Chain A
Amino acid sequence: MKIDRRSFLALVGGGAVGTALSPLSIKLMDDISIWSQTFRGLPIEVPVPPEGAASYHPSVCTLCPGGCGISVRKIDDRAVKIEGGADYPVNNGGICALGLSGLQLLYGPWRVEKPRKKENGAWKTISWDQALAEIAGKLETLRKNGKAHTIAGIARTDAGTVPALLKRFLTACGSQQFFTMPAIDASFQMAIEKMRGKAAAMGFDFENSSFVLSLSSGLLDGWGSPVRMIAAHSQWRNTGARLVQVEPRLSNTAAKADQWIAINPGTEATLALGLAHIIVRDGLYDRAVAQNSASFEDMQALLKSDYTPAKVAKATGIGEPAIEELAKNFAMAANPVAVCGRGSGREPAALNEVMAVLALNALVGSINRRGGLYTSSPLDYINWEEPVLDDIAARGLEKSAIGSLHTMVETVNKAADSPIQALFVAEANPAYTLHDEKTVKSAFDKIPLVVSLSSYQDETAALADYVLPLQNYLERYQDVPVTGGLKTPVVGLAQPVNNARKDSLHPGDVILQLAGKMEGTVAGAFKWRDYKDCLKATFGDDWRTISEKGYLRKSPFGASMDTERLSSRIDFGPLVNGRGKVPEIDGNKNNYPLTLVGYDSMRIAAEWIGTPPFSVKTVSDNVIKDSDVFVDINPATAGTYGFKAGQYAVLETPVGKARVRINLSDGIIPGIVAMPKGMGHTAYDGYIAKKGVNTNALIGPMEDAASGLDTAWGIGAQLKHV
């Protein structure tokens, strides 16, 4: 048969019509769509959250020292949402990203389920009875061998009943080794004690300030009580108050400020005194304050000799005219206030720096004045009877305390036989948050008994010999004292909004039960049935108020405080003696020409808690990409060292080195390498860990001679090509 044009067309046409009429095309389309929908396996069944009765439960958030009120929405027994507590005095309905992610900490797989013990390097689940009996037995042995003073404890803070119970337990055992994580509150209290004779907390009446001078304080990056600060900023926008941010980096605070002044890092105290120089020189200071204060002439002399605008300009990198203008604007403002505390303002600051800022506030009459800096005695509601001590305890307490945590780490590392034989860590994560984390790890390895009281499997729990699972903050009662820069301190009451997990205990109950397993006076020091009983007894008549209202707030002043000018008096002596000098960072300039600083962000939790997945999601891809962290450098710095955006580099400091990527930022002073704090967790799991590098692995402690506190804020660094 001959295939001519006509039959060819008929064949093709017929075929086409036939195919179109057949189910083939439909079948193929169906197959393709099924394939496209299942090429990664069959879709899973999407969960249908069960319905139920909705209710709201008030409590207080304890994820940071801010102490915001929260309201937890529940559907039957499930907590489904955390919202800000309306009308709560600290946050008034607002809430931060970390607080909103709290349920992920409650329900996440990173909770410690049961008491665990490390045996030959492997974890073994044990019962509470066994865990507490074994620990109590080891403590008894230490006490009998005259080593009572080697029992130590670490708490996040020394405020509130839970740290107080731990401290009491140590005292009853016969040890003074109670440590708190380094905090700026200590610097503030010490500065006020030196200059005003009586220790007090430092509070700020930001809501009524008209000019806020922030010396590298990340007022909107987590400083103080973060939600309150953000609300105060909104108020400044309404009232026209001015915010001037002096900081090496264009942080969120600097971005929102009316003026950003880039300063060489570590020279904030110098600037404060330089401003004081101009204020005194031009007679812009408050005469009454000067008359009532001690050593004003010495102060004048110091300012005149050491802090001339020319010298200050050279040190800080800020031009003289800008310094002059800033000083005048500050002094002439109706209600100015100067504030310090780098970044989130949690870590201690050099004593002379805090005193310089206190002096600057004093000179313009802003101490205990509307819109200024307030000194207030912390709320003092824990008045327990002193425990009765046995001979062992009395002898143990004669041995002196080591003091601060970084000294303890250093001492343990140096000693042949560790001066700490048993260590309790209560809801703190020193293995992650202390500077130079590897020395912390080696110290912990040398301590024969490390007990971690924790809700989460964090870095410290990983190093411990025993891990005791705690109720999460949403599952328990606790008093939450908030200073955090508030003008009027508040004590909130956290209340259980969710049923506690099986096998978890309240940290207070852990201490009470452990004491109960010990002999004689240690057990006798704790007369309460359980923690709730202790809490009720502590508040006494105030329990009704706090459990109904959710908080207690006591103004430490009478109503007439604003007019009492004498309260502004100050002794400049201690500042003059120290000549305003602050410690210098580690690393010699030849080997380490750059300066590494850690920075804080509202989206990353940099303290004891890991950043929950929701918060991690908000972190930009030029901060974390895959598992790499980006460091910010000025394009000029990048030019000097030959780096391009996105390139890998090795960041080396005297303490350690890490692989990082380069992010070019115009919002940073040249010569600085800025790295986000709070990344690089190794514990938890892939949702939280394995992202970037922990800044504490690169920055070592820097002791401030004046206060003995670790005031490291940075370190010498260099960037090398990979």
Chain B
Amino acid sequence: MKHNQGKKKPHKFGMVIDLDKCTGCGSCMVACMSENNVSFRKDESDKQKSITWMKVFKLTNGKQFPDTEICYLPRPCMHCEGDHGHSPCVSVCPATATDYDHSTGIVSQIYTRCFGCRYCMAACPYHARYFNWWDPVWPEGMKESLNPNVSPRMRGVVEKCSFCFHRYQLAMEKLYLEGRDELREDEYQTACTQACPAGAITFGDLNNTKHAVYQLAQPDNKHGGKPKNPNAFRILERLGTNPKVYYFSSRKWVRNAADNDIKNTKDA
């Protein structure tokens, strides 16, 4: 099989987000926009059309004053593994514009292949994909701040979080030049992880038992990556999308809300 070639065990990059620490400040969102040349418009208040690869959601426990509680939940692309790489979006893409990379576990998005059918957006249960409804226009002078490591997207294509894949490429180039074998944990970190003032985001290789993400989530890789840590969970776990973004919360209502069905979810 193609993805079992090579001697080394493949990487499986993933994230653990500690919702007890996340304060909803929005740094991760902006760090992502700035790193990945995300376009912006004068009015961004139509959230269905506003492109935010990383988006912080606000959850409430639905109780009345003064028993209301709020929890913030940052949502990047989940880079679902599904069943052996059959992510919901990858399965439906007629153009192979999005693909599951078995050597990194990253779901790619190739803008020049995408023809904008948006099947993937319909298939994604996490609303992590965004369509370019407009030409990306930077105000006078602002093209100066574009990052050359990420190509800006054109009108009519879908885009999404790439786990800052260009940072992986840069790290691998360095590794190759220095003749080393193994990527250190701190050599490849996403922009949101790096920026988070709360240190709520941890990023690393879920296949590497030494990495913090593995120790925090304790994924049961034999059983679809289900977390063994009782306070860790994934969103819509029951769909079997096998996402690589784990969350952590000490509050039960938050964990229950992740299955998106508070009324019918039995207490764990």
Contacts and interface: CB of A to CB of B under 8 A. Distances in A.
A649 interface: no
B65 A669 contact: yes
B198 to A, nearest CB: 5
A135 interface: no
A119 interface: no
B26 A603 contact: yes
Given A634-B65, A666-B64, 6 more contacts: A84-B194, A100-B27, A100-B195, A101-B30, A230-B198, A667-B65
A107 B154 contact: no
B242 interface: no
Contact of B197 (A47, A101, A108, A231): A231
10 contacts: A40-B134, A80-B145, A84-B194, A97-B29, A234-B198, A252-B25, A618-B30, A619-B45, A665-B68, A666-B64
Interface stretch (A192-200, A550-558, A609-617): A609-617
A252 B56 CA distance: 13
Nearest to B170: A54
A94 B30 contact: no
Interface of A: 37, 40, 43-44, 46-52, 75, 78-84, 91, 93-97, 100-101, 103-104, 106-109, 111, 220, 226-227, 230-231, 233-234, 237, 250, 252-253, 255-256, 260, 262, 602-603, 613-621, 624-627, 634-636, 665-670, 686-687
Given A49-B37, A234-B198, A234-B199, A252 B152 contact: no
A107 B142 contact: yes
A639 to B, nearest CB: 12
- In this complex, the member of B18, B25, B197, B198 whose beta carbon has the largest number of chain A beta carbons within 10 angstroms is B197
B70 interface: yes
B146 to A, nearest CB: 4
Contacts of B138: 47
A78 B37 CA distance: 14
Interface of B: 18, 20-21, 23-27, 29-31, 33-35, 37, 40, 42-47, 50, 52, 56, 58, 60, 63-66, 68-72, 134-148, 151-156, 191, 194-200
B148 A94 contact: no
A52 B18 CA distance: 37
B21 A602 contact: no
Contact of B45 (A262, A626, A635): A626
Nearest to B42: A686
Nearest to A110: B139
B197 A109 contact: no
Contacts of B63: 666
Contact of B35 (A81, A95, A107): A81
Contact of B27 (A96, A106, A233): A96
Contact of A614 (B40, B45, B56, B191): B40
A103 B145 contact: yes
B208 to A, nearest CB: 22
Contacts of A253: 23
Given A75-B148, A84-B194, A669-B65, A233 B23 contact: yes
Nearest to A623: B45
B23 A602 contact: yes
Contacts of A83: 31, 194-195
B190 to A, nearest CB: 12
Contacts of B141: 107-109, 111
B139 to A, nearest CB: 5
A107 B145 contact: yes
Nearest to B69: A255
Contacts of B37: 49
Nearest to A231: B197
Given A256-B23, A686-B42, A104 B142 contact: yes
A617 B44 contact: yes
A98 to B, nearest CB: 8
A44, A82, A614 pick with most chain B CB within 10 angstroms: A614
A697 to B, nearest CB: 21
Q: What 7 pairs between A and B have smallest CB-CB spacing?
A: A94-B197, A49-B146, A255-B70, A602-B25, A618-B26, A666-B68, A230-B197
Contact of A666 (B42, B44, B60): B60
